[in-house]
Structure 1
Amino acid sequence: MTDLIAWRRPFDAPIKRFQVLGERSSGTNFVDVLFKRNTTLQPTKDYGWKHAVPQFTSVLRDDLIIVCFRGPESWLRSMYAKPWHVPDSLVNVTFSEFLRAPWVTVMDMPGAMSAVGARKSLDLPVQGDRHPITGMHLENPVQLRNLKNAAFLGVLERGCNVALIRHEDVTKYPRETISKVCELFDIPVNAADDFVIPTRQLGEMTQRNVEGLRRDKVATYSDDDRAFVFSQLDHDLETKLGYGFSI
C-alpha cells in the first residue's frame, strides 16, 4: 500500500524545499533522511519545531510540508519506550500509568526544538505540547495524540503544498511512498538502483537513561488499558487517517 492519506498542491511553482512535521515516534526522522538522500530538495526548519501544533504564519509557494502519522497502538508503545522531554516522574512508571498520566514536558533539548533563546529556555514548559487555545497541558498521551493529529490533518486546509503519509506505509515501502509524493509534486527522485534507505536506527534516546524500577520492559496492553485508550481516542479522526483501535 503506497496511497497517501491526502495531499494538496495549490501552486504550480517547482518545489525547492521541504519540512517534515508530525508527532514524536511517527517516522519524521526516517522520512526526513529519505528526502535528503533521494531528492535534490533542501530541508528547512522555517516552519518551527516539527512536533509542535503548527502555528506558522504562511508557507511559501515552492515549499512542501510533509506530515507523518502512525497508528495508535504502536505509537503509544513507542512513546513509552522513548519518553522525549518528559520529567523523571513520567519515566519511572508502568505502561498503564503512562497511558493515564498528564502529558507534561520541559525544554531539555532547546537547541533542537526551535526554542527562542536556546539555552535560556532550558527546563521551561514546552509550549508546542500545550493546547494552543487554552494553554493547558493535555490530560494524557491519547489526548495529546488527538490534539496534535487534528492540527496536523488541518494543514490540508492551510492553502499550501502538503502531503500526509503513514508511518506504516513509508517504513514498509519507503521507495514507493517517497516516489509517490515526488510524482504528485513533480520532484526528481533517485532511480530504484540508487535509492538510499537508512539502515541505522533513527530518533534513539542517546542523551538520557530510560530506566526505573517501575518501568515495564515490554509495553503490553491489559484489557483495562485497551478500554481506557478506546474511551479517549477521537475515532472519527482515526478513521480519516486510516487507523482504528479495538478492545
Structure 2
Amino acid sequence: MTHSPIPWAEPLPGLRVVKRGDVPISRVQIYGSRCSGTNLVTRTIEANLPSVTMTEAFGFKHWFVPRQSVFMKDTLVVVVARDAFDWVRSLHRQPWHAHPDLKAQPFDAFIRSDWHSYWDEHFGHVEPGHPMLGSEMLHERDPETGERFANCIAKRTAKLRHWTTLTGRAHNVALVGYDAFARDPAGFVTALADAAGIEAPTTFEAITSYKGQGYEPYRPTRYAELAAADAGHIEAWLDPEVEAAFGLRARYGASPGG
C-alpha cells in the first residue's frame, strides 16, 4: 500500500498540525515524556479553548499507545517534546518512578544507566499495601523487545518516534515543541486553534503556576553547562529527524532545529 505524504501545516516554528477529520474537533489527547511540559500545555489548552475537552480515552499521556486503541475523528492528538538537553537535566532532578538506585546516581551515571520504572506511591491509587507497589512497570520497557531501554534518552527517542507515527492511526495530529510554546503560549494556542479548526480565544488566559496546578508560581530552572562527554552521549541517542519534527536541536549548542 502506498501512503500519501502527510499534509502538514506549519503555522509557527515548533508547531506542525495535520487535520484530516471531516467533523469538528471536540477532544484533545496529549502525549509526551515526563518533564516535557505536558501539564502546562494541557492547562493552557483547557483555559483557552473551552470548546474542546481534554481526554485520556486513548491511553495515559506518558505511555506508549496500546495497539488496540482506535482514535476517533473528533479527536486531536497533541504530542509535546522538550529540548533533549534541558529535558534530561530536568528528569535527573525529578526522576519520576525510577528505581531508587537510579534516582541516587550522579548525572553522568544517570544518563548512562538502563532505565527501569517502578510502581510507587507517586502514582495514583498505588498506596502502601497495594499488590503492585514496588513492582516494575513492564510497559515502560521497549515494546519491540521487552527489554529495558539502554538509558532514559533511548526511551525518550523511542516514545517520540512512536507518537509521531500516530499520523498513521489518527486523523488529526499536532507536534508541539515545548520550548517554542513556552516563549509564546498565546501565539501557539491561536495558531493551533486556527490550523485545527477550533474556535480561537478572543482573550488569552496565561498559566503562571508550576505545572499549571495553581499552587506556586512557575520559575524557569537555569542549568549548568553540560560536560562535553555527557553532551556527546546524549546526542548519540537522539534521532535528528524526530527532533527536527518538533523544531528541536539534536546537537548541544546548535540553534533550534539544528
TM-score over 0.5 for the pair: yes
Q: Which residue of 2 aligns with 1:85?
A: 97
Could you list the per-position Cα deviations for residues 63-102 of structure 1 after superposition, in whole angstroms to 9, with x for gaps in the alignment? 1111101111111111111110112111222111111011
CA distance in 1, matches of 2:22, 2:95: 40
Stretches of structure 2 that go unaligned for 5 or more consecutive residues are 1-10, 216-221, 254-258
Cα deviation, 1:3-55, whole Å, max 9, x if unaligned, reads 34422211120111112111111110001101111112111111111011222
1:66, 1:164 within 8 Å by CA — same for their partners in 2?
yes
Cα RMSD after superposing both structures: 2.4
Between the aligned partners of 1:91 and 1:32, the Cα distance in structure 2 is: 27
Which residue of 2 is the match for residue 6 of structure 1? 16
- Whether the 8 Å CA contact 1:51–1:128 is kept in 2: the answer is no
Q: Which residue of 34, 44, 48 maps to 1:34?
A: 44
Alignment correspondent of 2:6: none
SS of equivalent to 1:111 = coil
Distance 1:22 1:38, change over 3 A: same
Query: 2:33 aligned with 1:23, yes or no?
Result: yes
Further displaced range: 81-90 or 5-14 = 5-14
* Comparing 133-142 and 122-131, the one that deviates more: 122-131
Q: In structure 1, what is the equivalent of residue 208 of structure 2? A: 199
Corresponding residue for residue 111 of structure 1: 124
Quickly say closer, same or farther: Cα 1:72–1:4, change in 2 above 3 A: closer
Note the residue ranges of structure 1 that are not aligned, 5 or more in a row: 207-216
Matched residue type, 2:182: T
- Alpha carbons 1:107, 1:126 under 8 Å: kept: yes
Residue by residue over 1:106-126, the C-alpha shift from the partner in whole angstroms, topping out at 9 and shown as x without a partner, is 1224437xx9xxx54332322
- TM-score norm. by structure 1 comes to 0.84
Measured at CA, do residues 49 and 6 of structure 1 come closer, stay the same or move farther in structure 2, by a change above 3 Å?
same
**SS at the partner of 2:62?**
coil
2:41 corresponds to which letter in structure 1?
V
SS of residue matched to 1:57: coil
**Is contact 1:17–1:64 with CA below 8 Å preserved after alignment?**
yes
Calculate the TM-score normalised by the size of structure 2: 0.81
2:112 partner amino acid: R
Greater RCO (CA < 8 Å, at least 6 residues apart): 1
The amino acid that maps onto 1:234 is: D
Q: Secondary structure at the match of 2:162?
A: helix
Alignment correspondent of 1:161 = 172
